A = this chain, B = another copy of it.
């Protein structure tokens, strides 16, 4: 074991020292040698303020062999100037990702959930692998398994919690599964404690600091990745629109900020990400608001997008059919006074028919274009802190999965909080589901208690 433990001088302590210490030829016995590539890559574009990221010399940084397309692409594109070549690579893969996104949406909620899970696992892997590179304890046994163990445990916990909530009524019917539901938290906690004990037992003298740092690293990664992907799943259950619109907004904001930055970018926005410009930020913001508004208008018309995924007692299965809620029914709005006068002069109507969701979409687009980019700045800062260019190299022209999803996580939480604060107050339907968990005699007890309180307050006329 201790042969593998490689003593190296500290990396985490002082950012300035890192660059000198990261010697180029760093081959690990470990199968993942992505990181030696990552660490060798230079961040050489401090002074280029045109695009968001496009002008980093990608061609030399894309690790070859991960994927055949970039190689073929490079052959095709070799005569183009660098800047344009990157633009094309980036464009093609943006297009591919968008297509994939549409296919998954077409696949329905289950496909979306599985994709979320896969993305989550990839993001976790990327974050954890950076941790391994930073603390250089590739050789320490147990640790890799332990991180994954915690990932599985916390997924079991969170997905369990949400599945129990939605499929509870079904599960409750079979006695065997009832146990899994009732004891789900207990099982999760025991699994966690097991991991905790294993961690303590796996501590090796002289590596305490690194092991604790990685333990913390693992937990922060779980906090970012697992909890938020759980929120994404919860949003999907509220209706596909709550997932698709916010995700598209972030994508739109990313792309439009890049485009505006590329063509008009002059004024640097923040020192942290020297390639982000005020022009991109503002242009992206406006585009996102308009895009979100239009997209909401289109999606509000299809029950497929607006209906929450619920268990139908009548059909005996999950459904996505419903009478659309008030949010998704056209409503007449009076335009503000100063506009009315103007419109009257031209003999135009002073009211407009909108879906109320479209107004909510404004909050979402504002968040995604004002706070959203800070997710990206945070990720840039993080990458700078640890002297890495990208989180991974899965998507040519874009970096790792985490590079594309940095803003999505914050957005998912916002949407979830937004729904629970402004949209969904406990519905009678939801509470009934909870009531049906009770034993029959307790259900009856609740019925009588409810009857009494309603009669006392004269809401229900006492039956004779």
Can you pick out 29 interface pairs between chain A and chain B where the beta carbons lie within 8 Å of each other? A8-B14, A9-B13, A12-B12, A13-B13, A14-B209, A15-B209, A182-B421, A186-B418, A186-B421, A186-B422, A189-B414, A189-B417, A193-B371, A196-B371, A199-B378, A212-B385, A216-B220, A219-B220, A428-B445, A429-B449, A431-B435, A432-B453, A434-B434, A440-B459, A443-B450, A443-B459, A444-B459, A447-B450, A463-B463
Contact of A434 among B10, B209, B213, B426 (CB under 8 A): B426
Looking at the assembled complex, report how far the CB atom of A16 sits from the nearest CB atom of chain B, in whole angstroms.
6
Interface check A460, CB cutoff 8 A: yes
A396-443 at interface with B (beta carbon < 8 Å): 410, 413-414, 417-418, 420-422, 425-429, 431-432, 434-438, 440, 442-443
Interface check A351, CB cutoff 8 A: no
Interface check A446, CB cutoff 8 A: yes
Contact of A413 among B17, B189, B199 (CB under 8 A): B189
**Contact between A428 and B454 (Cβ–Cβ < 8 Å)?**
no
**Contact between B428 and A200 (Cβ–Cβ < 8 Å)?**
no
The interface residues of chain B lying within 8 Å CB-to-CB of A460 are 444, 447
Contact of A447 among B205, B425, B426, B451 (CB under 8 A): B451
Interface check A382, CB cutoff 8 A: yes
In the bound complex, what is the Cα–Cα distance between A377 and B197 (angstroms)?
A: 9
Looking at the assembled complex, report how far the CB atom of A459 sits from the nearest CB atom of chain B, in whole angstroms.
5
Interface size class of A (residues with CB under 8 A): 35 or more
Interface check A84, CB cutoff 8 A: no
Looking at the assembled complex, report how far the CB atom of A259 sits from the nearest CB atom of chain B, in whole angstroms.
23
**Contact between A223 and B219 (Cβ–Cβ < 8 Å)?**
yes
Instruction: Give chain A's interface residues, CB within 8 Å of chain B.
Output: 7-18, 135, 182-183, 185-186, 188-189, 193, 196-197, 199-201, 203, 205-213, 216-217, 219-220, 223, 270-272, 313, 371, 374, 377-378, 381-382, 384-386, 410, 413-414, 417-418, 420-422, 425-429, 431-432, 434-438, 440, 442-447, 449-451, 453-454, 457, 459-460, 463
Query: What is the total number of copies of this protein in its complex?
Result: 2
**Contact between A208 and B14 (Cβ–Cβ < 8 Å)?**
no
Closest to A382 in B: B212
In the bound complex, what is the Cα–Cα distance between A271 and B202 (angstroms)?
A: 11
Looking at the assembled complex, report how far the CB atom of A168 sits from the nearest CB atom of chain B, in whole angstroms.
11
Closest to A196 in B: B374
In the bound complex, what is the Cα–Cα distance between A59 and B435 (angstroms)?
A: 61
Looking at the assembled complex, report how far the CB atom of A334 sits from the nearest CB atom of chain B, in whole angstroms.
25
Q: A435 and B421 in contact (CB under 8 A), knowing A216-B216, A371-B193?
A: no
The interface residues of chain B lying within 8 Å CB-to-CB of A382 are 208, 212
The interface residues of chain B lying within 8 Å CB-to-CB of A210 are 14-15
Closest to A463 in B: B463
Closest to A456 in B: B313
The interface residues of chain B lying within 8 Å CB-to-CB of A435 are 431, 450
The interface residues of chain B lying within 8 Å CB-to-CB of A413 are 189
**Contact between B414 and A432 (Cβ–Cβ < 8 Å)?**
no
In the bound complex, what is the Cα–Cα distance between A108 and B10 (angstroms)?
A: 50
Looking at the assembled complex, report how far the CB atom of A163 sits from the nearest CB atom of chain B, in whole angstroms.
17
**Contact between A272 and B417 (Cβ–Cβ < 8 Å)?**
no
The interface residues of chain B lying within 8 Å CB-to-CB of A205 are 271
In the bound complex, what is the Cα–Cα distance between A429 and B135 (angstroms)?
A: 52
In the bound complex, what is the Cα–Cα distance between A454 and B449 (angstroms)?
A: 14
Instruction: List 14 additional A-B contacts (Cβ < 8 Å) besides A196-B374, A197-B374, A443-B459.
Output: A9-B14, A10-B13, A10-B17, A14-B210, A15-B207, A15-B210, A196-B410, A197-B371, A200-B270, A212-B385, A426-B434, A431-B431, A431-B446, A447-B460
